[in-house]
Amino acid sequence: MAELKKIKELLRYLNLNSTYEKLEDICADAEIKNQTPLEMVERILLYEANARKEKGLLKRMKIAGFPYNELNDNFDFNRKGFSGITRSHVKQLLQLNWLEKAYNIMFLGPPGLGKTRLSVELGIAAVKAGYNVTFTTLDHLMTLFKTAEIRTNSSRRLKQIKSSDLVILDEVGFLPISRQEVNRLYEFINEMYMKTSIILTSNKGFEEWSEFLGDSIITAAILDRIAHQCEIFSLNGPSWRLENRKTILSM
């Protein structure tokens, strides 16, 4: 027991906390399997490494701030009238090669076609692959900019967003923004340019952006930077939500 206590003290000193908590179970299982000292050391190191990977994953998922962390596999690429992206496209995107080159992705189209859902699927895959990801709507991003100087939480969140490998900027064009906010959007896009990948979703086609942003020159500058290294998917079709709407009344 004295040896066990001494080893646990060393584990705690070395911050091998997961192994510290499970050392008795690990030793008992190793004894049953008649493992050699080297096998025992390997077992401890693997256990600690896997525990740290899991904690890192949970932390990155929390920081990402996805609207949901689990996706069902019922996205119907073949439903009637739907076009703009295929299952094959998504499989290629899930390989995440574009992230290494700071490429962007844009999902454009009317509401209810799965733009946010596809963005979150790619974001979750990136988190699981070890990348730092953050999700935000454009409206929330503007709120962060406006409150960063007076709220510590806003300032901290902005730093997380700007230090991410991937930023998912959702709902661009859903709500009107002021001229000052347009300038902040340009500054943000320019700061991310060629350094951080952006997945952007919008219900506006490019021809509508000047009206939405209110300035053709700054619109051109924003789109020029986003679209320079970018895969653009223009989705079309009926709203999935309306097709699958639920009712409280029985027929």
Q: What does the radius of gyration of the chain's CA atoms come to, in whole angstroms?
A: 24
Which pLDDT score is estimated for 197?
97
DSSP string, 21-46: HHHHHHHHHHHHTT--HHHHHHHHHH
Q: Which residue has the higher pLDDT, 190 or 19?
A: 190
Which pLDDT score is estimated for 150?
93
The values of phi and psi at residue 72, to 5°, are: -80, 160
Which pLDDT score is estimated for 251?
55
Asked which of 15-24, 154-163, 206-215 is least confident by mean pLDDT, the reply is: 15-24
Which pLDDT score is estimated for 243?
60
- pLDDT category at 72 given cuts 50, 70, 90 is low
Q: What angle do CA 100, 144, 241 make, to 5 degrees?
A: 75
The values of phi and psi at residue 113, to 5°, are: -100, -5
Which pLDDT score is estimated for 17?
78
- pLDDT category at 242 given cuts 50, 70, 90 is low
Which pLDDT score is estimated for 245?
61
- Asked if 133 contacts 172 with a C-beta cutoff of 8 angstroms, the reply is no
What is the spatial distance between Cα 228 and Cα 225, in angstroms, rounded to a whole number? 5
Token pair of 107 as six digits: 């999902």
| Mean predicted lDDT score pLDDT of the chain | 88
Token pair of 13 as six digits: 């000193």
- pLDDT category at 44 given cuts 50, 70, 90 is confident
Which pLDDT score is estimated for 168?
98
Which pLDDT score is estimated for 28?
76
Which pLDDT score is estimated for 7?
72
What is the spatial distance between Cα 224 and Cα 193, in angstroms, rounded to a whole number? 10
Report the share of the chain in percent with pLDDT over 90: 59
**DSSP one-letter code for 107:** E
- pLDDT category at 16 given cuts 50, 70, 90 is confident
- Residue 50 predicted with pLDDT over 60: yes
Selection from 27-41, 65-79, 224-238 with the highest mean pLDDT = 224-238
CA distances from 134 to 8, 106, 150, 203, 236 (A): 37, 16, 22, 21, 26
Residue with tokens 């963005």: 119
- Mean pLDDT in residue range 155-159: 96
- Residue 8 predicted with pLDDT over 90: no
- pLDDT category at 79 given cuts 50, 70, 90 is confident
Q: Break the chain down into helix, strand, coil percent, rounded to 5.
A: 55, 10, 30
pTM: 0.84
- Residue 41 predicted with pLDDT over 90: no
- Mean pLDDT in residue range 125-135: 96
- Asked if 23 contacts 4 with a C-beta cutoff of 8 angstroms, the reply is yes
